[in-house]
Amino acid sequence: MNIQGAYAELRVLDLGQGVAAPYCAMLLAMHGAEVIKLEPLAGGRVNAFDDWLADPHIVATSGAVYVDQPEMGQFPAPRTPGIPLAVDAALPPAPRIGEDGAAILAEIGIDPGAIASLCAEKILLIREMS
């Protein structure tokens, strides 16, 4: 038995791109194989989110949809197979820090007087109490 690894005598030429092939090559290398990675001079097929958006397969299958967000404008979102993405209605803006704080604290049982007192002492910052 070779103590260097199960694949110590193996030389692997990795031509793969994406996730699965490089992961497999990494596992082989971890077990002693000599892995030689070949890829185009410009790098792999997808090096940035913009590359992913321009990929012909993503374009052909509508793998990305553009969502309107009131504060950010339109942005691309990956479509997850089997999970519908509501793009008909604009997404509501995210709540600001403390925007719904009093309602949340009241919901978990904290007395409104205690909430007001904590806000007065500057322990809590809740917009509707300010």
Over residues 103-124, the pLDDT tens digits come to 888 889 999 899 889 888 988 8
HSE, side-chain direction, 13 A CA sphere, residue 21: 14
Compute the distance between CA of residue 50 and CA of residue 58 in angstroms, rounded to an integer: 11
Q: What is the pLDDT of residues 54-81, one digit of tens each?
A: 878 778 877 887 877 777 788 887 877 6
For the chain, the domains span: 1-45, 95-130
